[in-house]
Structure 1
């Protein structure tokens, strides 16, 4: 196998502000894996969850150091490569895992969802994200989304550094806008809330009544994620019994071990490929969550259509898709991830089914 990396910049059309800060652009890596006349590709990059941080430069260094070891190996069987991938950080593992899966699917001439026996018709609308900001700016962002696609699932970021009063104003403004749209169009929109760990336990409890009153159908990661697994789990345990809507873990849930420890105290998990280390762990997590009766969200960071297209292979297993980051990019170099209204379609091409646009040749 021959591994190569290419850096590329992703620029948001609208910068996204969450509890941990604002992102306007990121640098990601295109991971290419060539063997026997086929090239599999993957996307990765650095990210920060508040308690764990990975830099794109460090991810690139890991993969560059690994490249010589790949020279004498083949991309299949995937199981034989598991020990090699196990020592990588989650984002480094993700980039290589996606390229390997893409190569494998191309070799067999089928999209991954078909090789896994999944039903591509079992899909639901993706949510679109409203970041933190002044109410007028957040409502303008909502209108911009509605000009772009039907957008029937809205995810509002709360946990504002300005405090809970600002969160309450935003919540009320967005809920009122959704009700106005329902009255004018007859189309009801679902409202989800993601605090990105921006609340303490007392604040989260105090927000439950306003959230329920606003019609919020899902509360994601209200509490800050903690490196101490027991303390992290205890936070969800303390909140779960009082929470009237589904409680979803994101930054606290990285792999199957996290899923197992959190399962008694949450109603769902958010799987992101950069956290899970790619599709191998993500598929296992999605299947296990469903067997345990948990809802599955599949989410993104500031990702292009390649990462989101890889995640879209899991859509038949997903309750709450949240793959909108590529829809907010000015310079996405990839194509192949299509929409039907606000429903993402699992890519039909072999492997990941995502390719570089014509003007983005390597």
Structure 2
């Protein structure tokens, strides 16, 4: 075996239009790509060390490049996870190692991992509606009439979240609806929203309050299932979330890689948590490993159609169904 080489690249993937959540308006995705090369094979992974801060992203790149070779040159994702603490940039290395392993062995990644998947499998995906005025959110819901479900970004400080939900429900009377407040509410605001959400048949509310306030969730009537996102990082998060949440959102940047994400999903299933799969709107390379968790999830929040540019080949999304990655992309 030749000496492995690790390379990095910082990219900005422009969005087709601004995308707003409770704490920020995005115009692009700032990502760190990691490539590991050995014996003529290349494995790639991509992460988002921070939603928009380039200083944090460049610090993550420096962390990758300053790693001792012993941390990754074994080319074993499980050994990597035993050596390095959880971080977004560990996710990029972890996924690059799995991609490299698949390419060196000439096998698809789901066969290597013994997952019950086939190359033609596809999975229904929700459409996300960015935080906006009630009227514009309703217009977007009408445009997404063929989607199996809609995920509403709420959590605004303007007091119009109930109106937003009511407008979308009126525009999409038969759709499954979920809410993502991105930590934007207080316990009191959530308490006020819960009966409204139940009346409009909301399937779940994702990360309604900041982690510092979520102890108060135990005192609220469980009118709508609650899903932990920012509060669920890896398997160590689950004991604290028991009794507070019914679901967790698994994202590779939070878990620090596919290796831990798969273990987290198995542990969550064993403890009775339902799971959803998300990816912060990343590129096809960032999302490709997450598709492996889709069969065990009740909600799949993936898809790169918000991007103005993407890796080629990209993940294929047709009629709100996302497929597994082509080998040229990842795995």
Answer whether contact 1:111 1:352 (CA < 8 A) is retained.
no
CA distance in 2, matches of 1:85, 1:35: 21
SS at the partner of 1:248? Answer: strand
From 301, 305, 311, the equivalent of 1:322 is 301
Structure 2 counterpart SS, 1:136:
helix
Distance 1:7 1:308, change over 3 A: same
TM-score if structure 1 supplies the norm length?
0.83
Counterpart of 1:113 in structure 2 is 110
Count of aligned positions: 326
Q: In the alignment, is residue 153 of structure 1 matched against residue 156 of structure 2? A: no
Tell me the distance in 1 between the aligned counterparts of 2:237 and 2:329.
28
Aligned pair 1:18/2:21, yes or no?
yes
Structure 1 equivalent of residue 134 of structure 2: 135
Tell me the equivalent position of 1:81: 80
Question: How many Å separate the matches in 1 of 2:155 and 2:20?
Answer: 11
Spell out, residue by residue over 1:131-158, the C-alpha distance to the aligned partner (whole angstroms, 9 max, x if none).
Answer: 1111222233334445xxx312100011
**What corresponds to 2:208 in structure 1?**
222
Q: What aligned pairs does 1:20-99 form with structure 2 within 5 A after superposition?
A: 20-47=23-50, 55-66=56-67, 69=69, 73-76=73-76, 78-86=77-85, 90-99=87-96
Residue 170 of structure 1 corresponds to which residue in structure 2?
164
Deviations 1:240-260 (A, max 9, x none): xx1222211001110101023
State TM-score, norm by structure 2: 0.90
Q: Point out the more displaced range, 106-115 or 1-10.
A: 106-115
Aligned to 2:311: 333
SS at match of 1:335: coil
The equivalent residue for 2:289 is 310
Over the aligned positions, Cα root-mean-square deviation in angstroms equals: 2.5
Unaligned ranges ≥5, structure 1? 180-187, 354-362
Question: d(CA) in 1 for partners of 2:328 and 2:29?
Answer: 28
Taking the aligned partners of 1:28 and 1:48, their CA distance within structure 2 comes to 9
CA apart distance, 1:124: 4.2
Per-residue deviation at 1:347?
A: 2.4
Tell me the alpha carbon deviations over residues 177-207 of structure 1, each in whole angstroms, 9 at most, x when there is no partner. Answer: 011xxxxxxxx32111111111111110111
Unpaired runs of 5+ residues, structure 2, are none
DSSP-derived class of the 2:30 partner: strand
**Shift in Å, 1:310:** 1.2
Q: Which residue of 2 aligns with 1:278?
A: 257
**Mapping for residues 121-270 of structure 1, pairs under 5 Å:** 124-146=123-145, 150-163=146-159, 166-179=160-173, 188-226=174-212, 232=214, 234-239=215-220, 242-270=221-249
Deviation, 1:9, is 1.4
